[in-house]
Amino acid sequence: MDERVREHAEVLVDWSARVDPGDNVVVSVAEDAHDLGVAVAEALGERGAAVTTLYGSDELSRAYLTGRERESASGDDAPEFPDPAVDRALLEAADVYLRLGGGRNTAATADVGRETRQAYARSRKEVRERRMATDWVSTVHPTRSLAQQAGMAYEEYRDFVYDAVLRDWEALAGEMARMKEVLDAGEEVRIRTERADAPDTDVTMSIAGRTAVNSAASVAYDSHNLPSGEVFTAPYDAEGEVFFDVPMTIESTRVRDVRLVFEDGEVVDFAADAGEEALESVLETDPGARRLGELGVGMNRGIDRFTDSILFDEKMGDTVHLAVGRAYDACLPDGESGNESAVHVDMISDVSVDSTMAVDGEVVQRDGTFRWEDGFDG
Amino acid sequence: MDERVREHAEVLVDWSARVDPGDNVVVSVAEDAHDLGVAVAEALGERGAAVTTLYGSDELSRAYLTGRERESASGDDAPEFPDPAVDRALLEAADVYLRLGGGRNTAATADVGRETRQAYARSRKEVRERRMATDWVSTVHPTRSLAQQAGMAYEEYRDFVYDAVLRDWEALAGEMARMKEVLDAGEEVRIRTERADAPDTDVTMSIAGRTAVNSAASVAYDSHNLPSGEVFTAPYDAEGEVFFDVPMTIESTRVRDVRLVFEDGEVVDFAADAGEEALESVLETDPGARRLGELGVGMNRGIDRFTDSILFDEKMGDTVHLAVGRAYDACLPDGESGNESAVHVDMISDVSVDSTMAVDGEVVQRDGTFRWEDGFDG
């Protein structure tokens, strides 16, 4: 076994999930994440945790859902799903939930009807809530399927994943704390890019009263992805224009070169060079889908390219992202609710050249370099 | 997908486990049992059950156990295991438990210490009991690893498995009911073989007051293996000699040509042409390990050869088996306990030629043919 698989497991168990002796840990292993599963099981044995292993197979999910669909095909209604009592019970008893992604086909559930998915999701609301109440962490094992999604050779993709995951997280958390400090103290963010080859971005948004999350890939930082490496907050009252040059996939549709125009915090105009209909469908979900839910600053310099996976793309150094839709509670004052929506869709801009991010008029990042870094040209 | 995989799943879900709409079904999928897992998930979706999928990987178990072992290596004691609260909770909530065997290496846990295994098993006593309280069924998906164990080509082994599993179970259950009737009414069984090429068998045992189980591969028959196809009871007071000509594996040791001599129900002499030490270790486990726990009559004519897997071997038509050790409660009068032991080891004799089984002096099977079958020569 590649020694990096073991290192990945140790970062996951110790830094990310903070597993203690006696913890009951549920590990969900995707179809081709077996090797990472073995390494995680070994680490959990060493730490003295109890382990329950789920098989997180998209192909099994698809079989179950299409089976349900077929049986219900007589009526026009979405299929009904039984009460998932076992899943509720097991998550109620779990201290930690580790999701090891890495299947064989990122499109494995593509032919499951939308109504079926939604009905299934509704039947599992409590399961989801209980999972979120554990110390949960989501990561991926590098598989051929994910390498294909990224347009990379398998060996190359493995190097990419381990460069992103095997960081000095303690040091990165310290650096990200500086960004969090700036955002927590600030009232207004302005992002500008002026590139010859692309539409300009010039957008301002309020962050007054909001708290940024130092997403350092650990439950100790309220951060549940490995890799992570972003600082995010919940902005509002956006004004101006934004161009997102990083391609993405929205509901299996490739979307490129999105432009959004905000007035009074709301998207009043939009366009995309590809996938505009998918974008439109997102924005029309509900009123909250036209307002911002997140501003995130990517700070993981181990990620050096876009791979069409939000787990990696939004954490890349020299990028910022905005999400339309739901805001995260962790960014809001206690008891206050932020932007609400059924969706949360991240869109990413490269800010490595001809760009600035300013907080209350002071530039904090120029051309990807932060104020506290060597080479910052204020 | 081979259409027989779907048929296997349907027999498992409908005939064996009797899954009802709304049932919470836990499915444990071994490393290479993915295809059967897909077919079972599809069938469970169609039936309207809820499904939770476990990953039953021997390699993950080995990693966990050796991790625990290594961490505890400082002391001389066996490692301690934490309370498996999640496994208890999930089995408490489960209606049905389906085990889909079929890993990649039947020796995957061979280097786990005996004390570690035992300590782990002790920590999971309640988990085991709760699993046995569900409508549980154990089956296997034909894998290359199991084909190798059987000494067969992969394609050949698949045919073998489906011939054993895809029976007319209703008809076989009817035939086995006749055997059960004979054993329930009988008081004494005598088995004799006189073959030129092997030691003689001539053994009698009492079955008075005992109830036979019609093991028809369905929870409705108190039968939890697919395939099954045997009728078994709990004999006592054995007298005589038995020769077991079917090879077997006891704790990873190949054992061949076992001879046992019984007096007053107890093994007083034993020998084996190979693996005699493993046999001796079994017989010395505890006092009950020297007495009979089971007499079984194989009646599945879909199984036409021995494959070094007790799931199949003991159900083969034209065989009988005796087990030393623990008797099954289902064979005993309510509240009465039968032979008790920590072990239950089955040993098999071919009775296709030069043999008879008689109940209370009347021959019920001669040279493999039952009294009620064409060609029976009473």
What does the block give as tokens for A268?
């009043």
Integer-rounded Cα radius of gyration of chain A = 21
Of the pLDDT bands very low, low, confident and very high (cuts 50, 70, 90), residue B102 is very high
Contacts of B26 in chain A (CB under 8 A): 86
Q: How many domains does chain B have?
A: 2
Residue A349 bridge partners (DSSP): A320
Chain B residues 152-211 with CB within 8 Å of chain A: none
Of the pLDDT bands very low, low, confident and very high (cuts 50, 70, 90), residue A46 is very high
**Under an 8 A CB cutoff, do A93 and B89 touch?**
yes
Q: How many CA atoms lie within 13 A of B101 on its CB side?
A: 16
Helix (H, G, I), strand (E, B) or coil at A215: strand
Predicted confidence (pLDDT) at residue B223 exceeds the cutoff of 70: yes
Of the pLDDT bands very low, low, confident and very high (cuts 50, 70, 90), residue B353 is very high
Q: By percentage, how much of chain B surpasses pLDDT 90? A: 89
What does the block give as tokens for A337?
């609710």
Q: Are residues B87 and B25 in the same domain?
A: yes
Predicted confidence (pLDDT) at residue B252 exceeds the cutoff of 80: no
Q: Are residues B190 and B276 in the same domain?
A: yes
Q: Does residue B378 form part of some domain?
A: no
Last residue of a domain, one of A165, A185, A202: A165
pLDDT tens digits, B290-330:
999 999 999 999 999 999 898 999 999 999 999 999 999 89
pLDDT tens digits, A98-123:
999 999 999 999 999 888 988 999 99
Chain A residues 59-118 with CB within 8 Å of chain B: 59-61, 63-71, 80-90, 92-94
User: Average pLDDT of chain B?
Assistant: 95
Contacts of B109 in chain A (CB under 8 A): none
Q: Does residue A308 form part of some domain?
A: yes
pLDDT tens digits, B126-161:
999 999 999 999 999 999 999 999 999 999 999 999
Q: Are residues B79 and B220 in the same domain?
A: no
Q: Which pLDDT score is estimated for A73?
A: 66
Q: Are residues B236 and B320 in the same domain?
A: yes
Contacts of A70 in chain B (CB under 8 A): 45-46
Q: Which pLDDT score is estimated for B75?
A: 59
| Stretch among A16-30, A161-175, A248-262, B73-87 having the lowest mean pLDDT | B73-87
Question: For residue B290, what are the contacts with CB-CB under 8 A and spacing of at least 6?
Answer: B266, B267, B283, B324
Backbone angles phi, psi at A112, to 5 degrees: -85, 130
Q: Which pLDDT score is estimated for A326?
A: 94
Q: Which pLDDT score is estimated for B151?
A: 95
Integer-rounded Cα radius of gyration of chain B = 21
Backbone angles phi, psi at A305, to 5 degrees: -165, 165
What does the block give as tokens for A84?
């998932």
Contact status, residue A7 vs residue B30, Cβ threshold 8 Å? no
A328: nearest Cα among A341, A343, A338? A338
Q: Which domain holds residue B322?
A: 169-370
Distance CA A213, CA A233 (A): 6
Q: Which pLDDT score is estimated for B335?
A: 85
Distance CA B12, CA B227 (A): 9
Q: Does residue B213 form part of some domain?
A: yes
| CATH code for the domain in which residue A44 is found | 3.40.1830.10
Q: Are residues A183 and A290 in the same domain?
A: yes
Q: For residue B68, how many other CB atoms are within 10 A of its CB? A: 27
Q: Are residues B160 and B265 in the same domain?
A: no
The mean pLDDT of A126-133, rounded to a whole number, is: 94
Distance CA B86, CA B101 (A): 22
Distance CA A260, CA B267 (A): 85
| Residue A302, min C-alpha distance to chain B (Å) | 29
**Under an 8 A CB cutoff, do B29 and A69 touch?**
no
Closest residue on chain B to A31 (Cα): B34
Chain B residues 26-55 with CB within 8 Å of chain A: 26, 29, 31, 34, 37-39, 41-55
Q: Are residues B19 and B92 in the same domain?
A: yes
Q: Are residues A147 and A223 in the same domain?
A: no
**Under an 8 A CB cutoff, do A63 and B38 touch?**
yes
Q: In angstroms, what CA-CA distances link B9 with A63, B35, B81, B227?
A: 12, 10, 35, 12
Q: Which pLDDT score is estimated for B73?
A: 66
Contacts of B38 in chain A (CB under 8 A): 57, 59-60, 63
| Stretch among A325-339, A346-360, B234-248 having the lowest mean pLDDT | A325-339
The mean pLDDT of A272-280, rounded to a whole number, is: 95
A349: nearest Cα among A311, A331, A378, A323? A323
Question: For residue A131, what are the contacts with CB-CB under 8 A and spacing of at least 6?
Answer: A91, A97
Predicted confidence (pLDDT) at residue B72 exceeds the cutoff of 80: no
How long is chain A? 378
The mean pLDDT of A199-221, rounded to a whole number, is: 96
**Under an 8 A CB cutoff, do A37 and B55 touch?**
yes
The mean pLDDT of A24-37, rounded to a whole number, is: 98
Q: Which pLDDT score is estimated for A75?
A: 59
Q: Which pLDDT score is estimated for A252?
A: 76
Residue to substitute from A53, A83, A136, interface B, most B β-carbons within 10 A? A53
Q: Are residues B107 and B228 in the same domain?
A: no
**Under an 8 A CB cutoff, do A37 and B57 touch?**
yes
**Under an 8 A CB cutoff, do B45 and A68 touch?**
yes
Q: Does residue B124 form part of some domain?
A: yes
Q: Are residues A306 and A273 in the same domain?
A: yes
**Under an 8 A CB cutoff, do A87 and B50 touch?**
yes
Q: Does residue A378 form part of some domain?
A: no
Last residue of a domain, one of B137, B165, B193: B165
| Stretch among A201-210, B259-268, B329-338 having the lowest mean pLDDT | B329-338
pLDDT tens digits, A336-359:
889 999 899 999 999 999 999 999
Predicted confidence (pLDDT) at residue A268 exceeds the cutoff of 90: yes
Q: Does residue B376 form part of some domain?
A: no
**Under an 8 A CB cutoff, do B39 and A63 touch?**
yes
Predicted confidence (pLDDT) at residue A87 exceeds the cutoff of 90: yes
Q: Are residues B212 and B83 in the same domain?
A: no
Q: Are residues B157 and B207 in the same domain?
A: no
| Stretch among A159-163, A289-293, A330-334, B188-192 having the lowest mean pLDDT | A330-334
| Residue A225, min C-alpha distance to chain B (Å) | 22
Interchain contact B14–A (C-beta under 8 A): no
Distance CA A43, CA A150 (A): 29
Last residue of a domain, one of A117, A133, A165: A165
Q: Does residue A376 form part of some domain?
A: no
Question: For residue A46, what are the contacts with CB-CB under 8 A and spacing of at least 6?
Answer: B67, B68, B70, B71
Of the pLDDT bands very low, low, confident and very high (cuts 50, 70, 90), residue B114 is confident
Contact status, residue A177 vs residue A214, Cβ threshold 8 Å? yes
Distance CA B235, CA B291 (A): 9
Give yes or no for a cis peptide into B227 (omega within 30° of 0): yes
